[in-house]
Structure 1
């Protein structure tokens, strides 16, 4: 991501561990922020946009590792941090902590991005026409609302029926914790739908990272927005709405599976490196696939070697052992997917299954199977059998992209996840952060 110099340099204590980069506004009650909101320059607006995009990367590793461990996709071994193999797996008498890094860091980071997006909206309302035209202002608003919806989605994925607060504009009254996840998801859709409306007929002048390559104009951002909406609609079981959103997204049944939007990282000065990258065969910090990733794989499925690599020697911690390193990210400069076409094809298949359009679903499933060195689907043509096949492909195609735990939860299959030690647990949800209980 190209470096942009921020005009702001204040410390926000909630995010001290993950230093903010590229224009994130760390304090929301400073004269600097007030000045930007009241009479922003184009540079100010660009900094706000870039900072919001950059902020989405903060604590992303804690999010992915957490849901990956709970969802039995991986083991995360760390000599410095035992809670990956205790709290997150329920080892012994351990419970999930409501005031520790694997929850509070990603949670606070997501709301920080939302707050920055609201500051951008305030600034746009006070932007002079010589700085940005009405069509250009609409693009800023649509982008910011899309990001707010996405960040809220990630947080409700964590806490589920323990709830979340709907982000509110700067100076607005903070609402209650909403413990009905469907109600929160409806708010996610509201942000996304408003974002789409603003992006329609807009003109994008602000910079975006290489992670948005191919999607940097208004049409591209609408496709990104609708792809996210399709994901939310399947969570809400709005199958027809998911298909409608797919038709407005970058969904392409016969297209490149990896086309999509991603978080961009680099080791350049002032940027963030991808901390999901861990060199293979290392010691100390290790990320290995759960043993079931291999044992449950169909013979010949190439996703085994696309996603993992055999270690020269097995790694162990806390009575757990793994022998395949996760190799999805090849270097600290590798991007992390937000959403890509392979997921959209699987969303299409799921919606078609649920609407009983089974031949269409099989076509989509076969698109994925054949791409990964498997023969066309050989099983029964029933909804139940096809859901099993769908979840298999979501498990392996979207490995460590943040979906497995959510998928088994929404299909009431948490009880099928393995417990590797007698006293382990499979958690349904994270607790509400202590900071929310103190408000």
Structure 2
């Protein structure tokens, strides 16, 4: 039976009601977070884990909208919210606001989870009800998830930075520039790796499948570390971390760790899902997805033709619905093997090991009904091929904008209307300045 991950019990509610990094006084008639963290029971710690996993899904669809729309993967047409087609695309001299929902909501949601991770870390450290190995399990999980949430925030704000140190809401750390932020995220993952190496997992997880025990969480941690490595251009480290992850050239492309959804009381639905052929509220594939994909590529199934014709709004149009998440309970990947294979290809290209890179690229191509790679065997050509495969394999999983930005290729994204812009990053919310 699929585990329901609700965040509804009192301590979780107290933690997750914090609107961002800022201080919030909960219910003063009940126990404080300080009381709770003094000596949490295993059951209380497990509820913090469950609440952390649940909170990771909040505003996730909006995050995918943000990076997908700016990255020209998709359109989101909404009769009630025009800013998906104005601000996010720069229409009519529009700019990204530091006070609008598209940055304030994901910013607050990610920092709510980070707050949970900080509370879990403190509670596990102080708990007298668990063994040392169990403590390491809680710490390894909390630090890994905290690093992941910080990475998503940095994906949004890029050169504007993120706050790494938010442990004390009265004395927040400074905004940290991207290179230093990535270094801190990498160090946090490495610290979690050390924790997990001596850990016993005393809690259950909903979206981790075979990676729910300590060895599995360590593989998940190293998969995330490999993603950070390529963002930092640490190519050899990426290969080393892949070797400790669940990466496999012959393994299933969907093997990985996911955000899961459900219909149970207190659970959440996958709000990125919209049924096909809707009107009013629709998510549509950018027309270039179908134009640029190879004729035999089965990934065209992620952008299905609308049976009721083209949808149009504000000078934009598409005749294909996004069909990546095909039900309201379909999981959304955190990281999966198809991405790891492409990280392996990228690192090998950058290290001039072209034969191994081509093997990895062909693993993706053949899996999607394409012939083996027959292009030029040069770094430039292979990087182009790698980015192409990432575009179609990881469509609407939150990567294309970040990929083109880190390669300095945002100018290649299509401009659909005169005067539209391709943003390089979101501003820091006004409440944080």
Give the TM-score normalised by the residue count of structure 1: 0.94
Residue 181 of structure 1: aligned partner: 178
Q: What is the CA–CA distance in structure 1 between the aligned matches of 2:303 and 2:144, rounded to whole Å?
A: 33
* Structure 2 CA distance for aligned equivalents of residues 64 and 351 of structure 1: 25
| Residues 27 and 309 of structure 1, relative CA distance in 2, 3 Å threshold | farther
Deviation per CA, 1:340-368: give whole Å up to 9, x if none.
00000000000000000000000000000
SS of 2:211 mapped into structure 1: coil
2:84 corresponds to: 84
- Give the Å deviation of 1:27: 5.7
Give the gaps of 5 or more residues in structure 2. none
> Does the Cα contact within 8 Å between 2:147 and 2:186 map onto a contact in 1?
yes
In 2, the alpha carbon distance for the partners of 1:283 and 1:330 equals 17
Match of 1:232 in 2: 228
Query: Among residues 314, 320, 325, which one is paired with 2:321 in the alignment?
Result: 325
- Deviations along 1:108-129, one digit per CA (max 9) or x if unpaired, are 111111111111111112211x
Query: Conserved in 1, the CA contact under 8 Å of 2:150 and 2:185?
Result: yes
Indicate how the Cα distance of structure 1 residues 73 and 140 shifts in structure 2: closer, same or farther if over 3 A, else same.
Answer: same
1:159-178 deviation per Cα after TM superposition (whole angstroms, max 9, x unaligned): 11111111343468321112
Cα-to-partner distance string for 1:322-380 (whole Å, 9 max, x where unaligned): 11111111111111000000000000000000000000000000000000000000100
8 Å contact kept, 1:118–1:170: no
SS at match of 1:228: helix
C-alpha distance in structure 2 between counterparts of 1:269 and 1:297, whole Å: 41
What does residue 106 of structure 2 align with? 106
- Find the residue that maps to 2:77 and give its secondary structure: strand
CA 1:110 to 1:27, structure 2 compared with 1: closer, same or farther past 3 Å?
Answer: farther
Alignment of 1:180-199 (within 5 A): 180-199=177-196
- CA drift of 1:32 comes to 3.2
Conserved 8 A contact 1:115-1:169: yes
What is the CA deviation profile of residues 303-326 of structure 1, one whole-angstrom value per residue up to 9, with x for unaligned ones?
001x12100111111110011111
Contact 1:119 1:170 (C-alpha < 8 Å) held by counterparts:
no
Residues 171 and 315 (structure 1), Cα distance of their counterparts in 2 relative to 1, 3 Å cut? closer
The 3-state SS of whatever aligns with 1:338 is: strand
8 Å Cα contact 2:290/2:303 also seen in 1: no
Give the drift of 1:205: 0.7
Task: Find the aligned partners of 1:364 and 1:172 in 2 and give their Cα distance.
Answer: 48
1:75–1:229 Cα change, 3 Å: same
- For 1:295 and 1:330, locate their aligned partners in 2 and report how far apart those are by CA, in whole Å: 22
Is 2:215 the counterpart of 1:213?
Answer: no
CA drift at 1:13: 6.3
Contact 1:14–1:105 (8 Å) recurs in 2: no
Gap change, CA 1:26 and 1:250, over 3 Å in 2: farther
Aligned Cα root-mean-square deviation (Å): 1.6
C-alpha contact 2:260 2:330 (8 A) present in aligned 1: yes
Distance (Å, rounded) in 2 between the aligned partners of 1:169 and 1:161: 23
Equivalent position of 1:160 in the other structure = 158
Displacement after TM superposition at 1:26 (Å): 8.1
247, 256, 264: which one pairs with 1:260? 256
Select which of 140, 143, 157 maps to 1:142. 140
| Distance (whole Å) between structure 1 residues aligned to residue 134 and residue 215 of structure 2 | 13
**How many corresponding residue pairs?**
423
Q: Does 1:311 align with 2:313?
A: no
Which residue of structure 2 aligns with residue 151 of structure 1? 149
Aligned twin of 2:383: 387
Q: Does 1:2 pair with 2:7?
A: no
Aligned pairs (5 A) from 1:236-385: 236-305=232-301, 307-312=302-307, 313-385=309-381
- How far residue 393 of structure 1 moved from its aligned partner, in angstroms, is 0.1
- Please tell me whether the aligned partners of residues 4 and 262 of structure 2 are also in contact (alpha carbons under 8 angstroms): no
Return the alpha-carbon distance in structure 1 between the equivalents of residues 287 and 162 of structure 2. Answer: 33
**Normalized against structure 2, the TM-score is what?**
0.95
Local SS of the residue matching 2:268: coil
**SS across alignment from 1:214:** helix
Secondary structure of the residue aligned to 1:262 is strand
Secondary structure at 1:328's aligned position in 2? coil
Tell me, yes or no, if the aligned pair for 1:192 and 1:229 is still in contact at 8 Å. Answer: yes
Distance in structure 2 (CA, Å) of the matches to 1:367 and 1:26: 50
Distance 2:285 2:380 in 1: 27
SS in structure 1 of the partner of residue 165 of structure 2? coil
Q: Shift of residue 106 of structure 1?
A: 0.6
Equivalent position SS for 2:150: helix
Report the equivalent of 1:21.
none
User: In the alignment, which residue of structure 2 is the partner of 1:425?
Assistant: 421
Q: 1:433 to 1:171 in 2, by over 3 A?
A: closer
